[in-house]
């Protein structure tokens, strides 16, 4: 009976994974297809990747995407880390209230965030839609993810360490950089990567808050799909996927090394 249950579980897991990852595999495979039309394999080629880097509009979108993702992830990581420190120091009731408020941005549909932000930005006549509004919008929805990545590390931190450091003459700033920061660094890096990948992936909020002439890769892909899905789109999304996977691998390796160094102490 147990063997039958295990067999059923394995089959079920196989089909779930197949459903999740088969479309991605198909996308990657057909990014190397010679044919302009999807579903018909006519041979292997790298022409679509070469055409990507010759397309100035795609290069511009690529620059916009990484610039906005880098800027928003850096700012949201700094603010989110400081916010986590503040939340951790609050009383239990206030802490729960702040965490519930942080959840709102995470569970809200992107369309609600996008419409509310464009309405908010319209109140400021001097603020034109462009890089500033785009970065501010990305910071807004990335912040909670940083907070919830850093908070668990702060909760694991022994409060006696900070008190001991200050008793030995360390200032609050020295205590943070010498004692607290090394302990919560894995959470900060995880939050930063999450913010970066969320910014790279976002379409709806970017669509509402960007200005004319400023397109991210997600917006560029959307405009390209109006003319049909071509292998060039497959190539572009494959490159985005490779970048995100590479970042995740680097972060995982870095986090593992930090944990090993911590365990040796």
Q: Angle 131-156/110-121 helices, nearest 10 degrees?
A: 120
Give, for all 265 residues of the chain, the pLDDT tens digit: 556 667 788 888 888 988 988 888 888 888 888 877 766 778 888 888 888 888 888 888 889 999 999 999 999 999 999 999 888 888 888 888 888 888 887 888 889 999 999 999 989 888 888 899 999 999 999 999 999 999 988 888 887 888 788 777 888 888 888 888 888 888 898 899 889 989 988 899 999 998 888 888 888 888 877 776 677 888 888 888 888 888 888 877 877 777 676 666 5
Contact 69, 77 (CB under 8 A): no
Q: Is 229 within a domain? A: yes
Q: Is 1 within a domain? A: no
Contact 99, 87 (CB under 8 A): yes
Q: What's the rounded Cα separation, in Å, for the pair 158 and 203?
A: 40
Q: Is 43 within a domain? A: no
Residue 24: DSSP 8-state: H
Q: Is 139 within a domain? A: yes
Q: Is 22 within a domain? A: no
Domain that holds residue 161: 55-264
Q: Is 8 within a domain? A: no
Which residue shows structure tokens 């999807």?
38
Q: Is 138 within a domain? A: yes
- The pTM of the full predicted model, rounded to 2 decimals, is 0.82
Q: List the CATH number of the domain containing 214.
A: 1.10.3720.10
Q: Is 166 within a domain? A: yes
If one counts the domains in the chain, the total is: 1
Contact 18, 25 (CB under 8 A): no
């Amino acid at each position: 009976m147990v063997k039958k249950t295990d067999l059923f579980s394995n089959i079920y897991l196989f089909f779930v994974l197949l459903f999740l990852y088969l479309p991605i595999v198909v996308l990657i495979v057909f990014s190397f297809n010679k044919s302009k039309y999807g579903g018909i394999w006519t041979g292997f080629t790298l022409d679509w990747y070469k055409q990507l880097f010759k397309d100035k509009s795609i290069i511009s979108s690529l620059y916009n995407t990484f610039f906005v993702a880098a800027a928003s992830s850096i700012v949201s990581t700094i603010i989110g880390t400081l916010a986590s420190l503040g939340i951790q120091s609050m009383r239990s009731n206030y802490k729960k209230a702040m965490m519930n408020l942080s959840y709102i941005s995470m569970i809200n549909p992107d369309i609600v965030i996008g419409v509310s932000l464009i309405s908010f930005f319209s109140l400021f006549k001097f603020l034109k839609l462009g890089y500033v509004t785009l970065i501010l919008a990305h910071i807004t929805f990335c912040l909670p993810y940083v907070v919830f990545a850093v908070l668990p590390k702060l909760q694991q931190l022994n409060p006696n360490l900070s008190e001991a450091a200050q008793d030995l003459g360390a200032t609050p700033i020295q205590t943070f950089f010498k004692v607290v920061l090394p302990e919560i660094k894995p959470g900060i890096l995880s939050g930063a990567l999450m913010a970066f990948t969320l910014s790279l992936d976002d379409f709806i909020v970017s669509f509402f808050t960007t200005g004319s002439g400023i397109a991210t890769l997600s917006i560029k892909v959307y405009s390209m799909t109006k003319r049909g899905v071509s292998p060039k789109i497959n190539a572009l999304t494959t490159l985005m996927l490779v970048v995100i996977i590479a970042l995740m691998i680097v972060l995982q390796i870095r986090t593992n090394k930090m944990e090993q160094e911590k365990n040796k102490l």
